[in-house]
Amino acid sequence: MPGRKVCLVLLAALVTSGAALPQSAIRYDAASRVWQLSAGEMTYEIGVNDQNGLQTMYWGPRLEGPSTLASAKSYPEAASFDASLSTTPLEYAAWGDGLPTQPALKISFPDGNRSLILDYLDSKQTDGPNGDRLEITLRDRLAEVYVHLFYKVYAPGILARWSQIENRTKAVITVEQAASATLNLPPSTSYELSSLSGRWGAEWQLQTVALVPGHNVLESRRGSTSHQSNPWLAIGRTGETTETAGPVWFGELGWSGSWQIDVEQTFSHRIKITGGYNTFDFSYPLAPGQLLNTPIFYVGYTSKGHGEASRILHHFQQQQILPGAPRPKPRPIIYNSWEATEFNVDEAGQLALAEKAASLGVERMVIDDGWFGQRATDHAGLGDWYVNQTKFPNGLKPVIDRVHQLGMDFGIWVEPEMINPDSDLYRKHPDWAMSFPGRPRTEARNQLVLNLARDDVKQFILSFLDKLVSENDIAFLKWDYNRNWSEPGWDAVPLPEQKEIYVRYIDNLYNVLAELRKRHPKLEIESCSGGGGRVDLGILRYTDEVWPSDNTDALDRLSIQDGFSHAYTPGVMVAWVTDVPNFLDRRNIPLQFRFTVAMTGALGIGSDVTKWTADESSLATRLLAFYKTIRSTVQQGALYRLVAPEANEQSALEYVAEDGHQAVLFAFLHSQHYGEPFQTVRAKGLEPAALYKVNPLDPAKATGLPQQMTGSELMGLGLSLHLIGDYDSTAIVFEKVERK
């Protein structure tokens, strides 16, 4: 626009390697008071409108060059029942002034007033090596209540949003609802919402529903992220959005406590997404001068379908979120004792497993539950983190030393936030467990939740873990969390502060994890919660990997892992090969199929390997060696879900290395029907003109394939594979041939 002063504030966050994604940038047009935030293939625009409110103007495909948008203009009222406030897509609306849709913020003042009207005040931009940051401050029209909205853009195509509520009045005010952000989509009647739901043993079920006017609430009220619903969503357009094409607006929250994402279709078919703290039972008193920070809501947009949305998230998680980002350490191959021995761990048994695991090529030996306190079953011991003398009369040292001699490092299971009533800790500190005094307390798996919002509990957890890791050469903790909250009472603090437990518990959890990692920089941690009950971008800032599900049945795992991959990188997705018949489904799946399924994530073994036959052991040895050659492609490459496992009798996945030198394709035949041949699988994400050496894991299943194929042949012609019979599977590696 001629004469418009466009100030290019910053260009930052060049992609360090791999496919050349566009840069991220924030531009501000002072004349129109419009901000344009671009990241990857997305642009997001906001502006100050004629009412001095902060309004969403655009969220969609990247706009190049200076914005041509005029100033934001509030929308007219639709009727006397729907004032301008309910039709205008505001960036962060507080409840007040008659807002009838989901508020981002609700506050009550000591005089009983509960109305808040947020006007634009000012803004500030800062540059960082990892992205550009914008802070916009809103202020209540009358009271000294401020809301700071933060925006940060990242090159892979992610916008991070969060808010900070500040009380500059002279009295205590109570925050009754606080979201990180509201996001608005333009009107359409054909939106569909994808989300991930489930339960223990059946997490990560992908659900897609058409949106109709009203609210879809994705949430956990359980004090932790939950198996039942994960804080991830993707919105597409019915008939337009598929795995490989069409618009997808997506997001995930970085919070491991009770959370909520409200997806509202308003009467005018506008979509309003409001995410942050769960509003249920929420209350946070803010004293004069105090601040409340909300979790980070990470969002993105692509016009290339659900597959690309996942790849953007995976890339972002590797580049920005995980410990060690932008180069998180590859996950070692773990042996874990849980399914083999359950609570019956002891020195001789664990050493026998370790010897065998090492001979197969395993890199890390992990002793699971049962090594501490008086832990014979799940009835006792949680809280007593000393080595059980009967099971390990010489302590852990001889086991750890031998594990090292065998060329592996050592890890151990802990469940720091829990307590069994039958424990010395409980007998000493019964008040440390969460409860409502005088009311019944609910036990689950015979355990209670320690109130980690308390500083003494935080100190206890930090110091026992620090001692355990300092006194033993421990490279890895599997950090478990086996129940939800039931009575979130905290009577040790005055009444108004008791509900701060929802925030303070999680803040303290993050503090303990951060401090432990600071004191032990080489320590790696897995987030487990009876399977995948605590996987989110909050915990992933402090944990290197996660356990997606206790369900280790390879067929179920295909769907579980498929759902998981929509939201999180396979680089953190631990997958074990376990014994058959599977403990949950009683299915007998052949060893190769179990291995290939587990090799599509961070491979581990949980079988009783001492019982493996010579044939099974040699297959395992060969597959572990094979996995090591494709590990970085699987864990850090770009994932293409070629054929989804749900509703198909066959499925296929492909991973392309960041630098394109290698790709690996996995194919699975779940169940054979009518003697039908395995359908042709076409690769994706390769360079059409490049030549690839075709290296099949099982040459007999790939007979007739040329030894070299171009990318265009692999993607166009595809591959005919000879998979036959129930639970057949294979993998094929494509190595790019450097032409002279």
Q: Decide: is 532 part of the binding site for ligand GLA (CB under 6 A).
A: no
Whole-number minimum distance, CB 574 to ligand GLA, in Å?
A: 10
User: Which residues fall within 8 angstroms of residue 3, CB to CB, at 6 or more apart?
Assistant: none
Q: Which of residues 300-359 bind ligand GLA (CB under 6 A)?
A: 338
Q: Residue 338, Cα to own-chain centre: how many angstroms?
A: 24
How buried is residue 546: exposed, middle or buried, by Cβ count under 10 Å (0-12/13-18/19+)? buried
Cα–chain center distance at 535: 5
Task: Write the interaction track for ligand GLA spanning residues 244-273; mark x where CB under 6 A is met and - where it is not.
Answer: ------------------------------
Candidate ranges 20-28, 358-366, 528-536, 704-712; the one touching ligand GLA (CB under 6 A): 528-536
Contact 305, 194 (CB under 8 A): no
With binding defined as CB under 6 A, does residue 369 bind ligand GLA? Answer: yes
Q: Residue 231 or residue 531: which is nearer to ligand GLA going by CB?
A: 531
What SS3 class is residue 641?
strand
Residue 389 CB contacts under 8 Å (≥ 6 apart), including other chains: none
Angle at 683 between CA 681 and CA 689, to 5 degrees: 135
Please state the closest distance from residue 283 (CB atom) to ligand GLA, in A: 32
Least spacing, CB of residue 531 vs ligand GLA, in Å: 5
**Part in contact with ligand GLA (CB under 6 A); list of ranges 206-214, 355-363, 525-533, 713-721:** 525-533
Which pairing describes strands 524-527 and 284-286: parallel, antiparallel, or unpaired? unpaired
Cβ proximity to ligand GLA, 413 vs 678, nearer residue: 413
Q: Taking contact as CB under 6 A, which single stretch among the options 289-297, 459-467, 527-535, 642-650 is the one that binds ligand GLA?
A: 527-535
Binding marks (x or -) toward ligand GLA, 456..485, rule CB under 6 A?
Answer: ------------------------x-x---
Of 425, 528, 540, 560, the one binding ligand GLA (CB under 6 A) is: 528
> Which listed residue (488, 530, 548, 604) binds ligand GLA by CB under 6 A?
530
CA–CA distances in Å: residue 217 to residues 154, 160, 280: 27, 21, 12
Rounded CA separation 495/249 (Å): 41
Q: Please calculate the CA angle 695-699-701 and round it to the nearest 5 degrees.
A: 115
For ligand GLA, the binding residue among 328, 531, 604, 711 (CB under 6 A) is 531
Closest CB to ligand GLA among 246 and 530? 530
Contact between 547 and ligand GLA (CB under 6 A)?
yes
Helix axes 591-598, 614-636, angle to 10 degrees: 20
CA–CA separation, 461 and 452 (whole Å): 9
Distance CA 109, CA 126 (A): 33
Least Å from the CB of residue 336 to ligand GLA: 7
Which residue, 338 or 485, has its beta carbon nearer to ligand GLA? 338
Using DSSP's 3-state secondary structure scheme, residue 592 falls into helix
- Counting contacts by CB under 6 A, is residue 417 touching ligand GLA? no
**Residues that contact ligand GLA, how many (by CB under 6 A):** 11
Which residue is associated with the tokens 């509960």?
A: 114
What whole-number distance in Å separates Cα of residue 141 and Cα of residue 481?
44
CA 366/CA 331 separation, integer angstroms: 14
CB of 546 to ligand GLA, least distance (A): 11
Whether residue 581 is preceded by a cis peptide bond, meaning omega within 30 degrees of 0, is: yes
- Establish if 32 lies at the interface with ligand GLA (CB under 6 A): no
User: Which secondary structure element, helix H or strand E, spans residue 501, and what is its range?
Assistant: helix 501-519
In angstroms and rounded to an integer, the radius of gyration of the C-alpha atoms of the chain is 27
Q: How far is the CB of 347 from ligand GLA (least distance, A)?
A: 19
Shortest separation between residue 550's beta carbon and ligand GLA, angstroms: 5
> Can you say how many angstroms the Cα of residue 509 is from the centroid of all Cα atoms in its chain?
17
Residue 495 burial by Cβ neighbours in a 10 Å radius (0-12, 13-18, 19+) = exposed
Name the strand (E) or helix (H) holding 311: helix 305-316
Q: Is residue 684 within 8 Å of 639, Cβ to Cβ? A: no
Q: Residue 281: exposed, middle, or buried by beta-carbon count in 10 A (0-12, 13-18, 19+)?
A: exposed
Of 369 and 556, the one with the shorter C-beta distance to ligand GLA is 369
Closer to ligand GLA by Cβ: residue 117 or 528: 528
Residue number with the shortest CB distance to ligand GLA?
A: 369
Of 160-168, 208-216, 524-532, 596-604, the segment contacting ligand GLA by CB under 6 A is 524-532
Q: To the nearest whole angstrom, how small is the minimum distance from the Cβ of residue 381 to ligand GLA?
A: 11
Cα dihedral 64/69/74/75 (nearest 10): -90
* Lookup: tokens for 303: 């016009």
Sheet holding 409-414: strands in order across? 545-546, 524-527, 476-479, 409-414, 364-367, 334-336, 602-605, 574-577
Residue 386 makes CB contacts below 8 A (sequence gap 6+) with: 372, 373
Could you give the dihedral angle defined by the CA atoms of residues 545, 602, 628 and 622, in that order, rounded to the nearest 10 degrees?
140
338 or 668: whose CB is closer to ligand GLA? 338
Segment (H or E) for 729: strand 728-737
Among 232, 413, 564, 568, binds ligand GLA (CB under 6 A): 413
- Which residue among the candidates 550, 553, 562, 728 is catalytic per the annotation? 550
Q: Is the dihedral of CA 212, 215, 218, 222 positive or negative?
A: negative
Nearer to ligand GLA, 34 or 334 (CB): 334
CB of 369 to ligand GLA, least distance (A): 3
CB of 103 to ligand GLA, least distance (A): 37
Residue 571 and residue 561 in contact, taking contact as beta carbons nearer than 8 Å: no
Residue 145 or 399 with smaller CB distance to ligand GLA: 399
Q: Which is nearer to ligand GLA, 328 or 530 (CB)?
A: 530
Nearer to ligand GLA, 342 or 698 (CB): 342
Residue number with CB closer to ligand GLA (92 or 372)? 372
Distance CA(357)–CA(620), nearest Å, equals 10
CB of 451 to ligand GLA, least distance (A): 21
CB of 407 to ligand GLA, least distance (A): 24
Does residue number 550 form part of the binding site for ligand GLA (CB under 6 A)? yes
User: Per CB under 6 A, does 89 bind ligand GLA?
Assistant: no
Q: Does 553 bind ligand GLA (CB under 6 A)?
A: no
Q: Which stretch binds ligand GLA (CB under 6 A): 315-323, 523-531, 553-561, 653-661?
A: 523-531
| Binding of residue 368 to ligand GLA (CB under 6 A) | yes
Q: Which stretch binds ligand GLA (CB under 6 A): 12-20, 131-139, 493-501, 526-534?
A: 526-534
- Please give the Cα distance from 625 to 628 (Å, whole number): 5
Instruction: Based on the residue annotation, tell me whether 550 is a catalytic residue of this protein.
Output: yes
Q: Which of 82, 368, 480, 728 is catalytic?
A: 480
| Active site annotation includes 384 | no
Q: Minimal distance in Å, beta carbon 465 to ligand GLA?
A: 17
267 vs 343 by CB, closer to ligand GLA: 343
Helix pair angle (501-519, 455-471), 10° resolution? 20
Q: What would the x/- binding string for ligand GLA be over residues 483 to 522, using CB under 6 A?
A: ----------------------------------------
Tell me which residues are annotated as active site.
480, 550
User: Which residues form the interface with ligand GLA (CB under 6 A)?
Assistant: 338, 368-369, 413, 480, 482, 528, 530-531, 547, 550
